[in-house]
Structure 1
Amino acid sequence: MTANAACVTCGNPLTDAASGRRYCSNACRQRAYRSRTSARDESPADSALPAPLDTFVGRREELAALARLGAEHRLVSLVGPAGAGKTRLAVQYVGKRADQVWWAVLASASDVVQAIYHAVGAHPLPNRSVRDAVIAEVEQHRRPLLVLDNCEHLLADVADVVSELLACCPRLRVLVTSREPLRLAGEQVFALGELESPPVGSDVSEALRYDAVLLFRDRAVSVDRSFEIDSSNVADVVAVCRSLDGMPLAIELAARRITVLSPADVLARLGDRLALLTAGPRASDDRHRTLRAAIGWSYDLLPEPEQAACRRLAVLGVPFDLGVASAVCDVPDALDLLTSLEQKSLLVVDRVAGHTTFRQLESIRLYCRERAVEAGDVSFVADRVVDWVCSVVEPEISSFFPSPRVVLRLDRNIGLIELAVARTAEAGDWARHALTAVATAWTSTPRGPRGAPTELLHRALSQPMPSPYRSVLTVLAAMHHRIRGGWHVTKRFAQESAAIERADGGRPGTLARALEVLASAEAHTGNPALAWELFDQAVELLRASDDKLARGMLLNSYGWTLLQHGHADLAAPLVREALTLVRLMGLPHMLNPTLHTAGAIALARKSYPEAVALFRESLEVGSEHPMDQFYDLEGLALGLVGVGSDDERALSLLTAASVVRTRYDFRAEPYWQDLLEEARLVCRERITAGRLRAAESTGERMSLAQAISYALTARPVAEDDDGLISARELHVATLVAEGLTNRQIGQRLGISPHTVARHVTHARTKLGLRSRAQLAVWAGRHTP
């Protein structure tokens, strides 16, 4: 204490002898104690710890993690989007503490210091500020915790007060709930996200292991005691929870509709969820009584540039990267905008394979899209998306093949390409419509094959456009018809592209591509001599190019065409060079077509083990574009038939690939089709009737992704008299090791849970294992 220090009760000066003391006498100390006690008794209700009337569901891991963080750090900010349950988790956390806890509700406050003053039960001090009074009260406790709830609208003031309190009160800990952090030194941010939702297809027992479903059931039962989750409604409940992004407030509001709507009805109405989810408890504050109000509170706090960004990004309806966001928000670099919105819990960041994308939770997106419609942003965003797509595509149209970086970027934004296609067609902007059609032809998704629909290509080609655009579009149309076996149409489009390129000049990459496609068409329409000449011309055009990928793809096409016409020995060196070039590029996902041709050459030479290895590698490296892999399934099946090790697996793979070909009208070249038919005949001769039909049925019911998983589960294992399990039993065992239930395994393989159980039992019996867990351990050790 300094010489002029005063007693905090009466204000009388303290002498030097009283240095280090706060009171001039015991009487003043007792009066201060009585004053503090009275202040606590008369403090507003907001200062009391909330006492929830509903049950706390889930969040056990988050609660434990928050407890650890709070024990180690003095300032923790619990942040998350509207309706994530921040306040509810904070209540549960502080309810487990035995120390002094103060709770300050700031949602309706305008003065942070006064709100904290009332919450801690401080009393006025003569000639001292309100902050000093708060500090004096806090310092009376050994391990105090101050909770500041709902701070997002007062962040600057809260940050200022909290930093001073923590500096002056070394024993104080602070927990803040907000939609964005305070950004103070030493602050630990605990981001609260969605509740975990079960995967699609979960049965009742599995679904009830997830917090989102448990919360839905709990809140539904609270309004309808007869409600239960059973086999008739579990799929709808899971779909509701997933559609609502696992956000607790939205799930609670949806569950309260169970009194008049079934889960299926709720699901059907979620397209208008902002109107549906309005039945919050009357005792709740206004922000938590409707989903619209909860999201609107966050939106209204944003400055205009961030509101505009939220609206425009909502129009996209798909995840987006920084480049797309910059174009849509009409700024050179949207990094600061996205960072701010992410910190305010209005964007979710996803990181996959080193690539960062952003997305809005669906409920937030729908709210912001409404605001976009009101502000007239929808057309503006569509035009910016068209600009972005064209800026990515146009620099690549003179290449033999677009760079893998560009293709990957388009693949990741395929939803935006669809928007751009629709916008340019609607506006009659046919030149840029052609570029959006090109973008579509360059992309693929896990659900569909690479390439544009026939109608889109033909419609685009019927409109006027610059000659470079028409050239690339006609060669893409030629490639489109080539894979469908339409050789005469392929030839016509390729000839048109080659004529444009020869007339314009200056685009050797596009001309080489047109000649390559035309050469393959000539080879299959009875003029192989001309085909070899055209291939040679294309190779010469790329000889001086540094584009190793283009040269590798051209040589692979040349080798594949030679192979189909009986020239395996001539094809082999071309394909070896192609493999070397593509491997040098360090692009494993681009190896797929070249590995396939190399495998086909191995088949022609009857080097079946080599063929199996090559097709397996092709399946592995091509996983980024699984729709391109039906050829590899067929090649692997042909290799297995040649080895003679697993005819049932081979027939299943052949059948699965055939389903894909039929669905997308992909016709095999005559050479390849003859090999496939011969392999099927061999399988039918070797496999007994019952097993034959089972193998075909398995192939028919598997998706392409499931067939690829089945093909790569393990290297072929022959069933023999030594007790080795069959390939199907090994595959089932591997899925058991992944933790899948019999029902999930059955769905993946297209068989019944009863059949799965039989495979599990047979595998255990053959291997001498006593439990399912032992089988899982065995599979983990014996599969790659």
Structure 2
Amino acid sequence: MTANAACVTCGNPLTEAVAGRRYCSNACRQRAYRERTSARDDSPNDSAFPAPLDTFVGRREELASLARLGSEHRLLSLVGPAGAGKTRLAVQHVSKRADQAWWTALAPVSDVVQAIYHAVGAHPLPNRSVRDAVIAEVDQHRRPLLVLDNCEHVLADVADVVSELLACCPRLRVLVTSREPLRLAGEQVFALGELDLPPADSDAAEALRYDAVVLFRDRAVSVDRSFEVDSSNVSDVVAVCRSLDGMPLAIELAARRVTVLSPADVLARLGDRLALLTGGPRTADDRHRTLRAAIGWSYDLLSAAEQAACRHLAVLGVPFDLGVASAVCGVDDALELLTSLEQKSLLVVDRMGGHTTFRQLESIRLYCRERAVESGDLSLVADRVVDWVCSVVEPEISSFFPAPSVVLRLDRNVGLLELAVARTAETGDWPRHVLTIIATAWTSTPRGPRGAPTELLHHALAQPMPPAHRSVLTVLAAMHHRVRGGWHVTRTFAQESLAIERADAGRPGTLARALEVLASAEAHTGNPAMAWQLYDEAVELLRDSGDKLARAVLLNSYGWTLLQHGEPDQAAPLVREALTLVRLLGLPHMLNPVLHSAGAIALARRSYPEAVDLFRESLEVGSEHPMDQFYDLEGLALGLVGVGSDDERALSLLTAASVVRTRYEFRAEPYWQAQLDEARALCRDRITAGRLRAAESTGERMSLAQAISYALTAQPLAGDDDSPISARELHVATLVAEGLTNRQIGQRLGISPHTVARHVTHARSKLGLRSRAQLAVWAGRHTP
């Protein structure tokens, strides 16, 4: 027994007679018991908790998940970016808890142990540490919960304390809010993201089913009781919420501006949102009174390397993959950097089709871009993007056709190409400028056609460049004019490319490509005999190359051109071989043009059901690049007219495809145009006047994506008064009826499983259905 041992209750020295005990008398023991009993009162310590004065909006699924995870795991970390509403959600979660809970606000403190000591109401223990006092207090309660709010600036200290508390207090549960997890054994991380966002074209009734819009309305009404979301402002409110990534803090700050700005005015000013989104409640933490301060708190906690990465990535302005990030950040492998930034809630990870990309929330990006401007990083990043683009393109310029993996890589990072094109033009780096134009010509997006704009191509052709680069660029210019029906211009550019290749032998791939393009031009400018000769030379060049994809593309072009000149029987074996090669290569995105040719041959042979099946398959496999599919809409329409099964749908599809052709100046070959004209004439003869106009109007109003969905589901246009759900929701419902999982549907449609789940939920809500099985039954009854 040490000389300075003392009673835990009164502090009087303990005598030898009571050695080994904690109390000097029964009175002190009973007093300690009464204190413990009082402390075990199951009502939470409400006085220590934030007391929100506004309403809590949404997050029903998140609250349910927190309740479940909190019962299953002793350490739960609620993480998310600045302004995601972590603290508010934690308060709402704990307010429903009946057991003892303590709230520890760590944002203004640096000593974690002292903050917890005061939060739990611990008492000093003689000759014992503060940690021991905390453990002694916590261990007296039956099911205690400790909430540690805003831990990111003292993460290591929090991890150390929490680890010890959980080890010493087996009944304790801990809820942490932070912008990154503690990374402790047994930790369950709950990532808090954006509020549910409505589709861009939602009406007021639909928009108000989404938490982001409800939050905007609620906070706007709190400062302007006359405000309401209606038909006059719903599109602007939805656009504001979507532009702010569904982040609660940003939406709240934007909504408070309706006292002096309309939603349209707020939307117009979001380009300078860091200046606009200020003026949070006076009682709010300083970090939550402006959007800039909220993001700056996270940025200032980063290491120098992490801050530089945030600045460099912000210059991109588009999603990026690991390879791009490594190049832009100037490291061999940026995996650790990206992992760290993602864990700190400064990057969002998107996974789709087996590929991972990263992006910054727009508000975070704008903040970091400001820092990039201050640091003079813009030119550095632009030069690194140019280096990356050229490193991808240059190894492929001697090929007949760039490797699909290269095209896919460029497609996934197509947003970077504009930056690379502008930078090389600005610096007069014309050889590399040509490579950036070639990259642009190889790519496509869901919103635009494949290929570089005419003015970019022609401007680049006026610049000095190596002969090999010029050959590739002139053949790309020829292909550009080919799809627009400019056959004489196509012929001129193709002849120039061929002359370069014949003079500079040794590139059979680019020589074969020049021959192929020139052959198609000769066939359409009155010299088919020369065309067949050029095609045969190209086929011979590639016969022993081992490049099966190049051979498939060439054979398909040869077959398509033969068909245009009335030779379907000669075209059929060429296209059949091309189709076999592409299927064997396992490249579904390359099937589209070959299936189109096969479908056109079936049409020529009047095998209309076969043609319908081929064009349907082409529409299904081509969803990654819908701009390539207007031909398939026309082909399917021709097949339907031939079968005579659905003239109205056929006319709608023909009209929708015609809109695309007009918008991008795509001219059909004379052979194909004649079939389109004949089909329209037949439809107009066989459809009554009223239904005829309705069919054409439907086609005119549809986007290309809607037309494709309509073609595959045989349902009306999204938003049609007779359709209770959108075309996309209907398409998802039909796939549910086929028994596909959300992941399988997402892979089929090129969207995330989370987005699929949202479509399923919205469709069920609109239809008043309570289960996925009921939705499948409904879809089976309403689709052919």
Q: What TM-score does the superposition give when structure 1 sets the normalisation length?
A: 0.90
- Cα deviation 1:202-257 (Å, max 9, x = unaligned): 12221111111111111111111121112111111111111111111111111111
Cα distance between partner residues in 2 of 1:303 and 1:151? 17
CA 1:513–1:79 in structure 2 vs 1: closer, same or farther (change >3 Å)?
Answer: same
Name the stretch that deviates more: 27-36 or 89-98.
27-36
Are 2:627 and 1:627 equivalent residues in the alignment? Answer: yes
SS in 2 for 1:631: helix
Cα distance between partner residues in 2 of 1:302 and 1:99? 37
Give yes or no for contact 1:737–1:780 (8 Å, CA) kept in 2: no
CA 1:608–1:339 in structure 2 vs 1: closer, same or farther (change >3 Å)?
Answer: same
Cα distance between partner residues in 2 of 1:339 and 1:146? 28
- Residue in structure 1 matched with residue 103 of structure 2 by the alignment: 103
SS in 1 for 2:104: strand
Q: Percent identity?
A: 85
Give yes or no for contact 1:18–1:24 (8 Å, CA) kept in 2: no
- Residue in structure 2 matched with residue 164 of structure 1 by the alignment: 164
CA shift for structure 1 position 29: 3.2
- Cα deviation 1:353-407 (Å, max 9, x = unaligned): 1111101111111100000000001111111111111111111111111111111
- Cα deviation 1:289-345 (Å, max 9, x = unaligned): 111000000000001000000011111110110001001100100000000000000
Cα distance between partner residues in 1 of 2:717 and 2:239? 32
Match runs of 1:354-433 below 5 Å: 354-433=354-433
Match runs of 1:151-190 below 5 Å: 151-190=151-190
- Residue in structure 2 matched with residue 252 of structure 1 by the alignment: 252
Give yes or no for contact 1:39–1:122 (8 Å, CA) kept in 2: no
- Cα deviation 1:506-536 (Å, max 9, x = unaligned): 2111110000000111111111111111101
Match runs of 1:19-418 below 5 Å: 22-29=22-29, 32=32, 48-418=48-418
AA in 2 matched with 1:100:
Q
CA 1:39–1:729 in structure 2 vs 1: closer, same or farther (change >3 Å)?
Answer: closer
Give yes or no for contact 2:575–2:598 (8 Å, CA) kept in 1: yes
Cα distance between partner residues in 2 of 1:588 and 1:151? 48
- Residue in structure 1 matched with residue 556 of structure 2 by the alignment: 556
Give yes or no for contact 1:47–1:120 (8 Å, CA) kept in 2: no
Give yes or no for contact 1:145–1:174 (8 Å, CA) kept in 2: yes
- Residue in structure 2 matched with residue 655 of structure 1 by the alignment: 655
Give yes or no for contact 2:718–2:726 (8 Å, CA) kept in 1: no
- Residue in structure 2 matched with residue 751 of structure 1 by the alignment: none
Give yes or no for contact 1:46–1:105 (8 Å, CA) kept in 2: no
Match runs of 1:529-544 below 5 Å: 529-544=529-544
Cα distance between partner residues in 2 of 1:33 and 1:377? 65
Are 2:757 and 1:783 equivalent residues in the alignment? Answer: no
Cα distance between partner residues in 2 of 1:473 and 1:638? 35
- Residue in structure 1 matched with residue 592 of structure 2 by the alignment: 592
Are 2:451 and 1:451 equivalent residues in the alignment? Answer: yes
Cα distance between partner residues in 2 of 1:375 and 1:37? 59
Give yes or no for contact 1:36–1:122 (8 Å, CA) kept in 2: no
Cα distance between partner residues in 1 of 2:267 and 2:33? 58
Give yes or no for contact 2:6–2:12 (8 Å, CA) kept in 1: yes
Give yes or no for contact 1:4–1:14 (8 Å, CA) kept in 2: no
CA shift for structure 1 position 783: 3.1
Cα distance between partner residues in 2 of 1:703 and 1:50? 49
CA 1:27–1:779 in structure 2 vs 1: closer, same or farther (change >3 Å)?
Answer: closer
Name the stretch that deviates more: 56-65 or 155-164.
56-65
SS in 1 for 2:469: helix
AA in 2 matched with 1:427:
T
Give yes or no for contact 1:734–1:783 (8 Å, CA) kept in 2: no
CA 1:389–1:741 in structure 2 vs 1: closer, same or farther (change >3 Å)?
Answer: closer
- Residue in structure 1 matched with residue 762 of structure 2 by the alignment: none
Aligned residues: 740
SS in 1 for 2:197: coil
Structure 1: any 5+ residue segments left out of the alignment? 715-726, 746-770
CA shift for structure 1 position 15: 7.3
SS in 2 for 1:349: strand
CA 1:592–1:11 in structure 2 vs 1: closer, same or farther (change >3 Å)?
Answer: farther
Cα distance between partner residues in 1 of 2:157 and 2:47? 19
Match runs of 1:598-609 below 5 Å: 598-609=598-609
AA in 1 matched with 2:570:
L
Cα distance between partner residues in 1 of 2:410 and 2:403? 11
Name the stretch that deviates more: 304-313 or 601-610.
601-610
AA in 1 matched with 2:401:
F
Give yes or no for contact 1:440–1:452 (8 Å, CA) kept in 2: yes
- Residue in structure 1 matched with residue 436 of structure 2 by the alignment: 436
Cα distance between partner residues in 2 of 1:201 and 1:107? 40
Give yes or no for contact 1:46–1:119 (8 Å, CA) kept in 2: no
- Residue in structure 1 matched with residue 693 of structure 2 by the alignment: 693
CA shift for structure 1 position 618: 1.1
AA in 2 matched with 1:661:
R
Cα distance between partner residues in 2 of 1:11 and 1:129? 19
- Residue in structure 2 matched with residue 579 of structure 1 by the alignment: 579
Give yes or no for contact 2:328–2:384 (8 Å, CA) kept in 1: yes
Give yes or no for contact 2:717–2:727 (8 Å, CA) kept in 1: no
AA in 2 matched with 1:526:
G
CA 1:613–1:109 in structure 2 vs 1: closer, same or farther (change >3 Å)?
Answer: same
CA 1:740–1:2 in structure 2 vs 1: closer, same or farther (change >3 Å)?
Answer: farther
SS in 2 for 1:190: strand
Cα distance between partner residues in 2 of 1:158 and 1:33? 31
Cα distance between partner residues in 1 of 2:47 and 2:622? 60
Give yes or no for contact 1:106–1:112 (8 Å, CA) kept in 2: yes
Give yes or no for contact 1:615–1:632 (8 Å, CA) kept in 2: yes
Cα distance between partner residues in 2 of 1:729 and 1:151? 50
- Residue in structure 2 matched with residue 749 of structure 1 by the alignment: none
CA shift for structure 1 position 775: 10
Cα distance between partner residues in 1 of 2:718 and 2:386? 49
- Cα deviation 1:723-745 (Å, max 9, x = unaligned): xxxx7599979954669899xx9
Give yes or no for contact 1:47–1:118 (8 Å, CA) kept in 2: no
Cα distance between partner residues in 2 of 1:583 and 1:683? 35
CA 1:254–1:8 in structure 2 vs 1: closer, same or farther (change >3 Å)?
Answer: same
SS in 2 for 1:591: helix
Q: What TM-score does the superposition give when structure 2 sets the normalisation length?
A: 0.90
Cα distance between partner residues in 2 of 1:513 and 1:593? 17
- Residue in structure 2 matched with residue 707 of structure 1 by the alignment: 707
Give yes or no for contact 1:559–1:570 (8 Å, CA) kept in 2: yes
Cα distance between partner residues in 2 of 1:96 and 1:292? 32
CA 1:313–1:155 in structure 2 vs 1: closer, same or farther (change >3 Å)?
Answer: same
- Residue in structure 2 matched with residue 758 of structure 1 by the alignment: none
Give yes or no for contact 2:709–2:727 (8 Å, CA) kept in 1: no
CA 1:741–1:326 in structure 2 vs 1: closer, same or farther (change >3 Å)?
Answer: closer
CA shift for structure 1 position 677: 1.4
- Cα deviation 1:585-632 (Å, max 9, x = unaligned): 011111111111111111111111111111111111111111111111
Cα distance between partner residues in 1 of 2:782 and 2:234? 36
Give yes or no for contact 1:638–1:676 (8 Å, CA) kept in 2: yes
- Residue in structure 2 matched with residue 762 of structure 1 by the alignment: none
Give yes or no for contact 2:710–2:727 (8 Å, CA) kept in 1: no
CA 1:112–1:573 in structure 2 vs 1: closer, same or farther (change >3 Å)?
Answer: same
- Residue in structure 2 matched with residue 760 of structure 1 by the alignment: none
- Residue in structure 1 matched with residue 489 of structure 2 by the alignment: 489
AA in 2 matched with 1:451:
G
Give yes or no for contact 1:737–1:775 (8 Å, CA) kept in 2: no
Name the stretch that deviates more: 332-341 or 138-147.
138-147
Structure 2: any 5+ residue segments left out of the alignment? 734-766
SS in 1 for 2:358: strand
Cα distance between partner residues in 2 of 1:280 and 1:124? 39
CA 1:289–1:729 in structure 2 vs 1: closer, same or farther (change >3 Å)?
Answer: closer
How big is the alpha-carbon RMSD for the aligned residues of Structure 1 and Structure 2? Answer: 2.7
Cα distance between partner residues in 2 of 1:170 and 1:2? 30
